[in-house]
Structure 1
């Protein structure tokens, strides 16, 4: 990432959502990152966890290796250890299954699958590179093998490779299938795809979602394609297309895992490339898939083009017929995604009928309004005008008239994405966030609020936990480390929210007096709210609590007459 220093903080474009103005901040003092656009935030560990899909343990090990530090044995809670052990065991099971399938393919039992791969013109080297295998015709073969090497039923069931019921006992999800191991970007086997040998449904079967396999956050072949030197990634529909392209020298091919492209896939692609070329099937289903994928890729800022493979159906078929050199020509001639959309739109109109033709131009003009920047919009108007032999000025006037009449769209409809829209916060939450941010940016304020505010005055449960950690840190050492606090929380959403607590937007105040006034008003609001919340939640018959609240109310009245200093 490119980061530019502004004051004591670095800013750049956020890697977790699409933006043109950098709102992603990295603070050396806080040892934290935070995006003021999408709310992504955390410390160096959570960054690797979000960006590379690591677990906390894996992120810590990577950073330790990078720093040349030998880690001591990690101390974890019982629950953490069980969870980490389970994830490790599931990865072990998948690796063991992949090795078993690989071995079976090269045995007499795997002759059918081997013949299938050879018929698809795959070399032994390609089969090895992708770890291709075979699941035996007996439906409990893998189950018996994995039991033999020491895995119990509960874990096998959770792996997604085995189903267990009272009637049939343990039986395999995959049997009599050519097997495609699915690997994450760190080359760990996380799932499988299987193509049935002979008759049977479904033709292709994928592993279910598990603790280690999330279809929306992984792409087939990305573990290899991520290191390509080619300028773009080729996005296919199926495993065989990816493998055929790699064998032909296109090591930049990937595919989604038996599901439509999602915003999660698009965000993953954005980490490794700025350009994606769609090389979907050329039939109707492939065209529909491309039309669905284009706006999803655009949403995260990926330049998208479409490869025309006609008269052939898919990349595998194309390369077998014409070879890699001709396919490269198709890559070089790939069509701009917007012009592809317009060309597909044209098929819905009779261009020989004046009324239908006019309707086509009107719909095209509406779509051109999706480009908010005038220069870019004019460039597309020119391209469409040249292609459909309509005057540039005529089309531009049509676009402008639609915009003025308010009958066109002014912005592409937003797609649902993995980015959570930040809800407007109420004033009290903002006040509590503001005070926490002030405290970590200027630890002198701990002395200023002493006697007026404690961690118990933060009424939001998550805020109170953060405040407790912060107050403890300062009490023990006179210093604070907000990045350390984030690691106390397990859930990603909690980590993001904690990062947000320590990055509240502070309006600049010109004088010391203004800052002291703002601080005092914030303290008063928080204290008043704290008393009010506890009054409503307490038992009115509990005299001890009632007296405490009365005393605090008196202290609040005293506070209003007291000057708060930041010296």
Structure 2
């Protein structure tokens, strides 16, 4: 969908799409007290529920992996949708007519996404039934020749597109679908003929098992489309850079095992799953790209700097090596370790299962090697290592690879491996790698030159681009700051319009301070105030922290006195810090030589002490 969705319509979608209704389609929720619901997190593997939904505020948050947001965010992440796609899907579900500002791009009428998904589902059922028809003999023979029986075809939803030309169109017309809808779904062409004819088909589903499109394999020599494989064209629901075949079957196992195996084709996915490699997926009609990488990383979760693994299976030929190099160039999109699994015989997982059995497919994945090592070995193959100049050139080509390794604990090992491959001294190799890293750092630090603009306003950046540090919720030293913000976000009307005198300097942790600064930017209003605070928050960590604070329970049912005591307590801690600092300065100030300065500081100290006593009285209601 092009254009910008009207803000009021987005707000209406949030209001109508109840968070508990949206989440309960994917998670079993049970009452957790205080109006909250709990369940097992769909974004990471866990045995004890830490995923909490607060319907009254419209937010969810997982205290295990840190994922949180509203109904739009949840659908985005659980179904791998963009923000716009998620809004559209919820709008279709709740009957909201979206108004979209025109930016010159294509426009999609309200409800089109739902109709396309319904048409795709009906088409998938039609194709599956056709696989059993007499005309699908060639399709069944092809599947049988690849080692897939009827049960396997049904498990993966494999189907067959008849050769009649309009069989699917006529069937869907009878079900009430219009030709214009089917054209936009990529199911028929403008002139009315079926898009797929005489081909084996695989339904491509999202993580929620909704059919987004199809992949089709050529069967007959007289097929008018010369391409062996043909995919659904880009539609409002199908974007090849955002889909992975097999994701519906592999999603939970990817999260549970923190592993993803990326193969090259539909039959490879089938062979892998049937062999016990249940984390296998494949890109559809395009090379594996950055968007695919980010999708898998979301499914595995960001639970550690190098948690989990992504394993690619490539052919052993030059094309496979080139594919590995392309993946390596985008490897920084992964937090997980990246590996390559290549069968020495050159067989893909489907042929490997067919010729050597299912155990061989599992062994292929088990023999994986780090992507860096694979790329490094293939880099060295291009040089004559019997010559001194050849070894030096190879070292210079391989050094940037090692310098880009994120896990520094592996660097020394790779240095020794490279030195051994080249027959060179490890210190010489280390020096070249260090120089490569320095050159890379210098390239990053060089300023980008551009034509200056006279009197161009500079947007101040109050927070670092990489985001704020995440505060430990169990840190008792920060407990008052956290408790105060929870009350402000969940029960803002318990404070006066000046937040009972609380100031940004009262917060010592930068993330807590950022949250309070966002609160200050948004005057309280009875409608969607928490949403407005979210919109006013520019730092992603602070935004996620706000969600956590919105769903985290307070110690008891609050009232105005309880909120006032918390506000006093957080100010009292800052006063204590100021008094400590001022006393330290007084001790370093000579009362004779610096009499005026000493007198001013002493007077300020007395004022702080008076203020501290006042705050102590007010703060008696706040818990320790």
Given the alignment of the two structures, is residue 49 of structure 1 paired with residue 75 of structure 2, yes or no? Answer: yes
Given the alignment of the two structures, is residue 288 of structure 1 paired with residue 322 of structure 2, yes or no? Answer: yes
Offset at 1:226?
1.7
Which residue of the other structure, out of 103, 109, 117, is the alignment partner of 2:129? 103
Offset at 1:393?
2.6
Q: Report 1:427-442 matches (<5 A).
A: 427=460
Offset at 1:43?
3.4
Given the alignment of the two structures, is residue 125 of structure 1 paired with residue 172 of structure 2, yes or no? Answer: no
Which residue of the other structure, out of 429, 436, 440, is the alignment partner of 1:409? 440
CA distance in 1, matches of 2:156, 2:291: 24
Q: Would the aligned equivalents of 2:165 and 2:194 in 1 still touch at CA under 8 Å?
A: yes
CA deviation map 1:383-438 (0-9, x unaligned): 323444433233223333555xx5x4249989xxxxxxxxx9624999xxxxxx9x
Given the alignment of the two structures, is residue 171 of structure 1 paired with residue 200 of structure 2, yes or no? Answer: no
Q: Would the aligned equivalents of 2:261 and 2:279 in 1 still touch at CA under 8 Å?
A: yes
Q: Would the aligned equivalents of 1:32 and 1:483 in 2 still touch at CA under 8 Å?
A: no
Q: Would the aligned equivalents of 1:235 and 1:277 in 2 still touch at CA under 8 Å?
A: yes
Which residue of the other structure, out of 255, 265, 269, is the alignment partner of 1:238? 265
Given the alignment of the two structures, is residue 266 of structure 1 paired with residue 267 of structure 2, yes or no? Answer: no
CA deviation map 1:231-273 (0-9, x unaligned): 5221011111111222222222110111111221111111333
Offset at 1:127?
0.4
Partner-residue secondary structure (3-state), 1:92: helix
Q: Report 1:306-455 matches (<5 A).
A: 306-371=340-405, 375-401=409-435, 406=438, 408-410=439-441, 426-427=459-460, 446=497
Partner-residue secondary structure (3-state), 1:191: strand
Q: Would the aligned equivalents of 2:263 and 2:280 in 1 still touch at CA under 8 Å?
A: yes
Counterparts in 2 of 1:101 and 1:425: CA distance versus 1, 3 Å: farther
CA deviation map 1:132-191 (0-9, x unaligned): 111111222211221122111221111111122xxxx31111111111111111111110
Offset at 1:313?
3.5
Partner-residue secondary structure (3-state), 2:299: coil
Counterparts in 2 of 1:133 and 1:411: CA distance versus 1, 3 Å: farther
Deviates most, 381-390 or 278-287: 381-390
Counterparts in 2 of 1:325 and 1:372: CA distance versus 1, 3 Å: closer
Offset at 1:47?
2.5
In structure 1, the gaps of 5 or more residues are: 1-14, 17-25, 35-39, 62-72, 415-423, 431-436, 449-465, 487-495, 513-566
Q: Would the aligned equivalents of 1:366 and 1:399 in 2 still touch at CA under 8 Å?
A: yes
Partner-residue secondary structure (3-state), 1:134: strand
Which residue of the other structure, out of 529, 534, 537, is the alignment partner of 1:482? 529
Counterparts in 2 of 1:51 and 1:413: CA distance versus 1, 3 Å: farther
Which residue of the other structure, out of 171, 179, 185, is the alignment partner of 1:159? 185
Q: Would the aligned equivalents of 1:41 and 1:499 in 2 still touch at CA under 8 Å?
A: no
CA deviation map 1:439-496 (0-9, x unaligned): 9777767469xxxxxxxxxxxxxxxxx99x965x63x5xxx7534448xxxxxxxxx8
CA distance in 2, matches of 1:428, 1:248: 52
Which residue of the other structure, out of 309, 313, 317, is the alignment partner of 1:275? 309
CA distance in 1, matches of 2:136, 2:389: 61
Higher RCO (CA 8 Å, separation ≥ 6 residues): 1
CA distance in 2, matches of 1:239, 1:314: 11
Q: Would the aligned equivalents of 2:58 and 2:71 in 1 still touch at CA under 8 Å?
A: no
Say how many residue pairs are matched. 424
Partner-residue secondary structure (3-state), 2:227: coil
Given the alignment of the two structures, is residue 88 of structure 1 paired with residue 110 of structure 2, yes or no? Answer: no
Which residue of the other structure, out of 207, 214, 217, is the alignment partner of 1:192? 214
CA deviation map 1:21-47 (0-9, x unaligned): xxxxx999998799xxxxx99832232
Offset at 1:511?
7.0
Q: Would the aligned equivalents of 1:102 and 1:133 in 2 still touch at CA under 8 Å?
A: yes
Given the alignment of the two structures, is residue 500 of structure 1 paired with residue 538 of structure 2, yes or no? Answer: yes
Counterparts in 2 of 1:295 and 1:189: CA distance versus 1, 3 Å: same
Q: Would the aligned equivalents of 2:294 and 2:333 in 1 still touch at CA under 8 Å?
A: no
Paired residue for 2:281? 254
CA distance in 1, matches of 2:331, 2:434: 27
CA distance in 2, matches of 1:302, 1:219: 18
Counterparts in 2 of 1:221 and 1:78: CA distance versus 1, 3 Å: closer
Scaled by the length of structure 1, the TM-score of the pair is 0.64
Q: Would the aligned equivalents of 1:372 and 1:410 in 2 still touch at CA under 8 Å?
A: no
Which residue of the other structure, out of 135, 141, 155, is the alignment partner of 1:115? 141
Q: Would the aligned equivalents of 1:45 and 1:60 in 2 still touch at CA under 8 Å?
A: no
Q: Would the aligned equivalents of 2:207 and 2:247 in 1 still touch at CA under 8 Å?
A: yes
Counterparts in 2 of 1:145 and 1:60: CA distance versus 1, 3 Å: closer
Q: Would the aligned equivalents of 1:241 and 1:314 in 2 still touch at CA under 8 Å?
A: yes
In structure 2, the gaps of 5 or more residues are: 1-41, 44-52, 101-107, 301-307, 446-456, 464-484, 500-517, 546-569, 576-617, 619-624
Paired residue for 2:250? 225
Offset at 1:352?
2.2
Counterparts in 2 of 1:156 and 1:335: CA distance versus 1, 3 Å: same
Q: Would the aligned equivalents of 1:43 and 1:483 in 2 still touch at CA under 8 Å?
A: no
CA distance in 2, matches of 1:270, 1:252: 13
CA distance in 2, matches of 1:426, 1:60: 35
Which residue of the other structure, out of 145, 157, 164, is the alignment partner of 2:171? 145
Offset at 1:375?
4.1
Partner-residue secondary structure (3-state), 2:374: helix
CA distance in 2, matches of 1:402, 1:49: 43
Scaled by the length of structure 2, the TM-score of the pair is 0.59
Partner-residue secondary structure (3-state), 1:170: coil
Counterparts in 2 of 1:42 and 1:122: CA distance versus 1, 3 Å: closer
